Amino acid sequence: MNPALLLVISGPSGVGKGTICRELQKLDPTIYLSVSVTTRPPREGEKEGKDYYFVSEDRFRELMEQGELLEWARVYDYFYGTPRTAVNKARAAGRDVLLEIDVQGGLKVRENCPDSILLFVLPPSLEDLSIRLKRRGTESSDSIDSRLRWAESELPYYKQYDYVVVNDTVAEAVAKVSAIRIAEKCRPQNQKLVWPIT
């Protein structure tokens, strides 16, 4: 059996990272989709433990100090982080892990887990990203402007990632990420052969 992969999905807010991750998990329920910890208040419809673990800033700082986070970053005035123990348990059980995190977090994961595979999701254009953010209906116009400015600062980091996927349509993006996952499992270093080769 191939060892479990650690796949990091990053990209600007509104590009469709969450949708891609949920669709991948539907295709293969053995994939573990990591649930991040955040100090951000819940949006309408978000559920504790399913979308995020919502904590106070004091509790977040405790988790940081105790080494409980694989990575953490401050984004849009709030902290976000990945619980280390849950990721390690899933991989130890042979499950591929998906992390849907920002660029800062993705690069920290690369430092902490050199075998991680980093995928950057791009929108077809900034105009398209703006339309998607407005269509979501979860942010004010000021928040959307802030997210678009942040996106422009994040986009150049795609060059530090292993793969780039343009999210023209969800189906195509999911197919590309699925293909990347299969290809990574075929790398020689990811093989555990049941018979010896000399």
Question: Is position 81 within any domain?
Answer: yes
Domain-located, residue 32: yes
Residue 146 sits at φ, ψ, to 5 deg, of -65, -45
Is 1 inside a domain boundary?
no
Tell me, yes or no, whether 16 lies in a domain. yes
- Residue 95 sits in a domain whose CATH number is 3.40.50.300
Domain enclosing residue 71, as ranges: 6-190
Q: Is residue 196 part of a domain?
A: no
What is the per-residue pLDDT for 108? 93
How many distinct structural domains can be found in the chain? 1
Query: Could you please report the per-residue DSSP string of 67-110?
Result: T-EEEEEEETTEEEEEEHHHHHHHHHTT--EEEE--HHHHHHHH
C-alpha triplet 2, 105, 166: angle, nearest 5°: 75
Asked if the structure places residue 73 within a domain, the reply is: yes
Q: Let me know if residue 88 belongs to a domain.
A: yes
Structure confidence at residue 14 (pLDDT): 80
Per-residue confidence (pLDDT) for residue 66, from 0 to 100: 95
User: How far are the Cα atoms of 50, 80, 109, 120 from residue 53, in angstroms, in the given order?
Assistant: 8, 10, 19, 24
pLDDT at 4 over 90: yes
Strand-strand pairing, 69-75 and 78-83: antiparallel
Is residue 27 within 8 Å of 128, Cβ to Cβ? no
Is the model more confident about 151 or about 117? 117
For residue 170, report the phi and psi dihedrals to the nearest 5 degrees.
-60, -45
Average pLDDT in the 138-147 region? 70
Reduced to 3 states (helix: H, G, I; strand: E, B; else coil), residue 10 is: strand
